[in-house]
Chains A and B, each alone.
Chain A
Amino acid sequence: GDSVTQMEGPVTLSEEAFLTINCTYTATGYPSLFWYVQYPGEGLQLLLKATKADDKGSNKGFEATYRKETTSFHLEKGSVQVSDSAVYFCALSGGYQKVTFGIGTKLQVIP
């Protein structure tokens, strides 16, 4: 079945550092790929998405490119801020719009 593997955290970075959170997936067909973010005490929010190979999703300075050849969707940001501290979930959607999530990666940004 569909699955998502993402790097385990926590990831601790200094403010303005470069961020990469790795995500790979296993799925049949051509799934849509997502990154969700969960701030402390809140529900999940859609951060960005890509629906086909080579698409780049972007939002709030975050980017991720749908790489079918490596089945990856790594999240990147050039300069993180303290306000980016949250848990980030990689996810995919195959048939019937069912979304399968990874385990989440906790990011902590220190001033």
Chain B
Amino acid sequence: EAGVAQSPRYKIIEKRQSVAFWCNPISGHATLYWYQQILGQGPKLLIQFQNNGVVDDSQLPKDRFSAERLKGVDSTLKIQPAKLEDSAVYLCASSPRQGRKGTGYTFGSGTRLTVV
């Protein structure tokens, strides 16, 4: 089966600019996650979708970050305006469905964002 697709792989922007990342999960996976991985740290959950609804966005900086999952398939994460501390790898992951113990995730390769 095809894996989780993310684009772009790399992005360099100036601070205060906007940027968008795209993710296409594994076909049929109901749950989609966006994680932020700052260099030297573990991934931090930004937002979790179940189909096209938000389950958890408690750690999403909503003043500058937004995400949507129209039609419950692919998803877009946007940052506007970007700050230097947003430099990180943004990982998308999907899993078959919520509530199934021990499922684990399948991750995409990530988008490496550098804000200068």
Q: Taking beta carbons and an 8 Å cutoff, which residues of A are in contact with B? A: 4, 32, 34, 36, 42-46, 49-51, 89, 91, 93, 96-104
Contact = CB atoms under 8 A, between A and B. Distances in A.
A98 B104 contact: no
Interface of B: 4, 31, 33, 40-45, 48, 55-56, 91, 93, 95, 98-110
Given A43-B109, A46-B105, A102-B42, 4 more contacts: A42-B109, A43-B91, A96-B98, A104-B40
Say whether chain B's binding surface is mostly helix, strand, loop, or mixed.
loop
Contacts of A98: 45, 48, 56
A97 B33 CA distance: 10
B70 to A, nearest CB: 22
A61 B68 CA distance: 40
10 contacts: A4-B42, A32-B104, A43-B109, A51-B101, A93-B103, A97-B48, A99-B104, A101-B43, A103-B42, A104-B42
Contact of A45 (B56, B103, B107): B107
A72 B4 CA distance: 30
Say whether chain A's binding surface is mostly helix, strand, loop, or mixed.
strand
Contact of B101 (A32, A99, A100, A102): A32
A44 B107 contact: yes
B41 A44 contact: no
B114 to A, nearest CB: 15
Contacts of B44: 101
Contacts of B101: 32, 51, 93
Contacts of A36: 107
B40 A99 contact: no
Contact of A97 (B43, B98, B107, B108): B98
Contacts of B109: 42-43
B105 A99 contact: yes
Contacts of A103: 40-42
Contacts of A89: 42-43
Contacts of A99: 33, 45, 104-105
Nearest to A30: B101
A43 B107 contact: yes
